[in-house]
Every structure is written in C-alpha cells, then in structure tokens.
Amino acid sequence: MKKNYLKKRKKEIIIIICLTSFSNVLNLGQNFLDKPIIDELSAGEFPIVPLLLVAVFLITNIFLDYYAYAYLLTILKLKITKDIRFDTFKNIIHQNMTFFKLQNRGSLVARAIDDPTQIADYLGLYHFIYISNTIRAFVTYGMLFYLNIPLALLTLFSLPLFYWLMKQQSPKISRLNDRERQNYDDILGATENSFSNVRTIKASGLMDQNKKYYEQLLDVQIESKKDVLIQEGFLTTAKNSIQHIMPVIVLGLGSYFVVTGQLTVGSLFAFLAILGAAYIPVSEIIYFQTVAAKTRVYLKRFDEFSTSPNSMTQTFSSVTPSLKVLDLTKKIGKSIIFKNITFHIDVPGIYSFVASNGAGKSTIFDILTGLDNAEGEVLINGKIAYMPQESPVFGFEDQRSESSNSGGEKRKLAFLRLDLTADILLLDEPFEGLDYQSQKQLMQQIIALGQSKIIIVIDHHDILGDHYAGDILNM
C-alpha cells in the first residue's frame, strides 16, 4: 500500500526532502556561526561577515520553513488523503451487502473519513523522517566533532540512553492507542444507533439503559485517554531530562577546556547551540514509530474490505456460481414468516419466486445479502448483487430532484447502478412501473445476462414467461 500511494508523488517527495534538508543545514550553519562571531568579538573585531551570513541563513530558513513544511508537506498529505479516500469509497461501494449489515456504523464512517487522513499523515512523513533526519544527523555530528572531539563523543554516547528511555513505553502506547481507537468507533456507532432508533428507544422504555451504555463508553474513553497521556508524559519527561542534563555537563567540561586552552569560547557556545539538534533525529524517529503504531489500526481496517464474515452466510470464490439454502426459518417475535425453506441452484439461468404477497420473498433476498438474518444456512459461491424493491435514486445529470423521478425512471436507474459483473443477481420487482417498451428492453437484457449468471427474480406480472429456468421456491 505504501509504495502505491507514494510512487505517484515521487517528485513532490524528493523536492520536500531536498528543501527540508537544506533548511536543517542552514539552521545548523546559523548555530555554527556562533563560533566566529564570539571569537572575533573576543579579539576586539566586529564580525560583519558572520553576522551577514546569519541574517541570510535566517531569512532563507523562514521562507523554507513556510514553503516546505507548512505548504508543500500539507498539500502532499492532502493529495494522498484524496487518493486513499477515493479508493476507500470504491472499496466500500463494491463490498458485499453483508458488509454494511455487520460492520459497526461508527467504524464505517471512520474508514471513509478519519482513517485516510491518519494514513496520509503517516505516509507523508515516511521519507521525510528517515532521509531528512539522516542528513541532519550526519551534518550535526560532523559539526560537533569538528568543534571538540571529547564533547562530541560524550554526546554520541548519551544517544543510546536517550533512545532506550523513550523506547521503553512505545509498545504500551501502541496497545493503548489501539484500545482508544476501538472505543472511539464504539462511541460513533452508539451515537448513530441512538439517533437512528430514538423513537424505538423511547417507545420501548429503554432510555435509561441506552443512557447508561453511552455513559459507560464515555467513561472508558476518559480512562483510556488518561492512560495514554500518562505514558506519553513519561516519554516527554525522559526526553527532556536528557536534553536538560547534557547541556549542563557539556558546559562544565567545556568551561574546563576553555580555561586550559583546549577550546575557544566561541566553539563552546557553538557546541551548546548545536547540541540541541543532536537529539532531534532520534526524537523524530521515536515520534514516527508512535505514529506508525497508531496508523497500524487504520491500515488494518483499510485492508479488511476484502472479507465480510457472516455467521450464517459464507461466500467463497469459484468459476461456477451457486446458491444453496438449507432449512431457512424466519421468526419475528412469536410469528413465523416462513419455515424450513430449502433450495439449491448451481446452473446459470433465470429463476423466480412464486408466492403470494407478504409471504416473505423480499425478506429472503435481504437474508441472502446479509441485510437480515434468520435460522438456517446459506452458502453462496460467487459475487452477489441486489436490486431491492425500493432503491434510492440520486438524480440525473440535469440535477432533477429525486421526487421528480417517476417510478419507472427509478427502476431503470436502479438497474443501471446494479453491479452486472456479479455472478448472482437478485432482482425484486424489476419491471414495476415500466412502460411496455422499457419492460421489453429490460427483459432482453436479463435474458442475455441469464446465459452466464444465476438470476433470481420476484415478478408478480410474469413478464419473463417461458424464459425461466424453473421456479426455485413456491411458498
């Protein structure tokens, strides 16, 4: 996945890395100029050239910081976000209908809106963190060793301790972030469920139970966030401790070197100025590893689109489509809608449900696609697509409203939106509201598709007549 989204942005990434690396070098050069400035002042000379260089470096750095960090990197992340969101939308649209029934609604919203942004942040930083900070590290340590070898070695030896202290909490933070992410999805799902079913909740007297469940989720969010903040606070404290202690040690040893003539005052000031940058590459890598740990949750969910598990329905890949239903029974409360429905289709063709109104034909379609559940077993071999009786229409290119579309127009558009690459097509009243000519055209299309696909039709008008391969269900 990483290569796919970064490959098309290769030129932009190279430009950002070059500009940020150049900015880092200028910033270090600006600190390094403390040496000639202070040394010339100590000798009673005015350091005009070093001061002019500092001014040039500072102005250039301000521009690069804005252009590379605030502009180019932000635009890059937005472009990657757009690419991921488009692919996410495509994946969601092509999911088996079971996906939308079983998946938590909050999680689905997060996949489409929140996750791409988080993944883009991770991908946008990927090359920038490693390449730019590697260059920064080489320049930083090169300058430190040039200024004073013993102090540079001391700084270098402190880096493993700095890294180890910060690294200790990373696995814990990763687990806490996973838990926090899941809790966030649960809250989204509970919120949407409450809004969608507010009448049912009020009518059933479930207000207190719903309120209590929602309150528990919010309490868990507070606790999980508290744990994350404690662990991240430990990292910050460990990092700051090393960064605050080392300058004191360097200042003490450096002062001794100045007194003994082994180091100039300018070199000591330059060393202290650059010392802070010595820990930045390690800090950036640790930070990126934390971002990667958070992103692992989003990446995992992004890759889950290929599977839609169902306790009753199993979908598996094969060349020949087939559909097998065993002892399907649907109950609503104490009422039995239908009982012990069994059929098996493994030959392409057009099949129809034969039953009176209200017998549960549309309910069986909902069960086959995972929008409803029932007792029994459903085995589906191949990809399934569903044209329900009532299908929302999003309008024509001339932007007519949905209400202005006739029933026949809605049925035509519903069929056009059907995924005709599927192996099994479920058509609920496909001819309803169509005029004679439209019925004839649609019938010809269905007959042609029936040569290679299993097509199951609910049709009270029996328009397809002799073209049925056989009635699969007589309720």
Q: What percent of the chain has pLDDT over 70?
A: 76
E-state strands within 165-321 = 313-316
Mean pLDDT, rounded, for 197-215: 67
Domains 2-306 and 313-474 share a fold: no
**Partners of 399 in the β-ladder:** none
> Amino acid letter at 122?
Y
User: What is the DSSP pairing of strand 349-354 with strand 454-458?
Assistant: parallel
What's the confidence (pLDDT) of residue 401? 43
Taking the domains of the chain in order of start, what are their residue ranges? 2-306, 313-474
CA–CA separation, 171 vs 296, rounded Å? 12
3-state secondary structure of 324: strand
From the list 322, 350, 345, the residue with the least C-alpha distance to 447 is: 350
Helix (DSSP H) and strand (DSSP E) numbers for the chain: 18, 9
Report residue 434 CA to chain centroid gap: 42
Q: Are 252 and 22 in contact (CB under 8 A)?
A: no
Task: Output the 3-class SS for 64-123.
Answer: HHHHHHHHHHHHHHHHHHHHHHHHHHHHHHCCCHHHHHHCCHHHHHHHHHHHHHHHHHHH
Q: Is the pLDDT of residue 289 over 70?
A: yes
Quote the pLDDT of residue 217.
78
- Report pLDDT for 60: 92
Q: How is residue 146 written in tokens? A: 């040039």
Contact 35, 269 (CB under 8 A): yes
Mean pLDDT of the chain: 78
Cα end-to-end distance, the chain, whole Å: 49
- CATH T-level fold of 2-306: ABC transporter transmembrane region fold (1.20.1560)
Q: d(Cα 472, Cα 475) in Å, to the nearest integer?
A: 10
Tens-place pLDDT, residues 74-90: 898 888 888 888 877 77
| 433/406 Cα distance (integer angstroms) | 8
Q: Are strands 322-332 and 375-381 parallel, antiparallel or unpaired?
A: antiparallel
- Phi-psi domain of 104 (left: phi exceeds 0; alpha: psi -120 through 50; beta: other): beta
DSSP string, 192-231: HHHHHTHHHHHHTT-HHHHHHHHHHHHHHHHHHHHHHHHH
Total residues belonging to the chain: 475
In the 8-state DSSP scheme, what is residue 352?
Answer: E
Q: How far apart are CA 360 and CA 366, in angstroms?
A: 10
The least confident of 239-243, 286-290, 441-445 is 239-243
Residue 392, number of CB atoms within 10 A of its CB: 10
Instruction: Give 316-354 pLDDT, tens digit per residue.
Output: 444 578 888 888 888 887 788 888 888 888 888 888 877
Q: CA angle 290-305-318, nearest 5°? A: 140
Low-confidence winner among 118-122, 280-284, 306-310 (lowest mean pLDDT): 306-310
Class of domain 313-474: alpha beta
Residue 287: HSE in the Cβ half-sphere, 13 Å Cα cutoff: 15
Q: What is the dihedral of CA 163, 169, 170, 175, to 10 degrees?
A: 180
Structure tokens at 325: 């239903």
Q: Find how far residue 372's CA is from the centre of its chain.
A: 28
- Residue 305 CA to its chain's centroid (Å): 12
